[in-house]
Chains A and B, each alone.
Chain A
Amino acid sequence: MLLIVNGESQELDARTIGDVIHHFGLEGRPVVVEADGEIIAKEQWPDTEVRPRMKIELVHFVGGG
């Protein structure tokens, strides 16, 4: 399915947000997910289905002042 992940179009074999996390090997890492502008809580990742051209943001904390 074509998804826009962190601003880039990606063809992913994914049905849910959980699949997207798995695809990028992000399990267990402190990631926050936003899908089409809505924050998806971690517990909901396996049940949240992705849609074609969905805009997914995978973010985390980096160093900053």
Chain B
Amino acid sequence: MKKDVWRIGDHVLTSRFFIGTGLFPSPYVQKEAIRESGAEVLTFAIRRINLASTEDDSILQHVEGENFRFLPNTSGASTAEEAVRIARLARASGLSDWIKVEISANERTLLPDPLETLKATEILVKEGFTVLPYTSDDPILCKRLEEAGAAAVMPGAAPIGTGLGILNPYNIGLIVEEAKVPIIVDAGLGSVSDVAQAMELGVSGVLMNTPVAKAKDPVGMARAMRLAIEAGRLSYLSGRISKKRYASASSGHEQFIVK
């Protein structure tokens, strides 16, 4: 079988797992989980340094950088303007010009603000960023983001951290069918079955943090998720059977012994 690689812009990826770096019980567990996940892309957030503490709480000290692509997010932004500002700060780190546009307007749902997300994507693409917007699972909106120059589009399965799984598989499937850039399901996944379902719908990858970091055994769950991605992808490529209303015997209806 030909090696199943994919691309974000010019960057070739083998793994289809983008893993988040928040909420892990310890840096050691996080490092092990990342290793088991096989992920090549890690996500981060940008925050103020805690000046009251002398301890270095930067996430980067726990990550050996060379092998990873960094995907900082604009979490905390509620407008396009704020997201653009955070994106510029992230790029000034010199570590990455990739940016996950994440703009939430509602604290309870953290659902993305689609209009601000589109606006920020347009601006950041013009500024030369590789833009991966996190957005709602609306097929038309996803298309608009692609047309605005997004390198990949990342519709949510469900609100961030809920683990509810894919609330609208019909939409995710339609988004994939229409897309010319990679579609990555970002947020709301909870278990391997959700992940396998996403991959069977034909998405190029998944982005997860909470379902791994908050699992009882994050390292075990990272591996389980990696296997689910592989299984789901292979199933998608292999073509599942269509659903039928009634039974069809595996050995046919000819030459029955009892007739």
Contact = CB atoms under 8 A, between A and B. Distances in A.
A59 B58 contact: no
Given A31-B49, A58-B51, 10 more contacts: A29-B58, A30-B95, A41-B92, A57-B89, A58-B48, A61-B44, A62-B22, A62-B57, A63-B59, A65-B210
Interface of B: 20-24, 30, 43-49, 51, 54, 56-60, 70, 72-73, 75, 85, 88-90, 92-93, 95, 160, 187, 207-210
A24 B93 CA distance: 19
Interface of A: 5-8, 24-26, 29-32, 34, 37, 39, 41, 57-65
Contacts of A59: 46-49, 89
A61 B59 contact: yes
A24 B160 CA distance: 34
B24 A65 contact: no
Contacts of B43: 64-65
B48 A65 contact: no
Contacts of A57: 48, 89
B48 A63 contact: no
A59 B90 CA distance: 9
Q: 10 tightest A-B contacts by CB?
A: A64-B45, A65-B20, A65-B209, A63-B22, A63-B21, A61-B44, A6-B48, A60-B58, A39-B92, A62-B47
Given A58-B49, A63-B21, A65-B207, A29 B56 contact: yes
A64 B24 contact: no
Contacts of B24: 63
Contact of B54 (A25, A32, A61, A65): A25
A64 B89 contact: no
B216 to A, nearest CB: 19
Nearest to B48: A6
A26 to B, nearest CB: 7
A57 to B, nearest CB: 7
16 contacts: A5-B51, A6-B48, A24-B51, A30-B58, A32-B89, A32-B93, A59-B89, A60-B47, A61-B45, A61-B72, A61-B95, A63-B21, A63-B44, A64-B209, A65-B21, A65-B160
Given A24-B51, A31-B49, A57-B48, A65 B58 contact: no
Contacts of B210: 65
Contact of B89 (A7, A24, A26, A34): A34
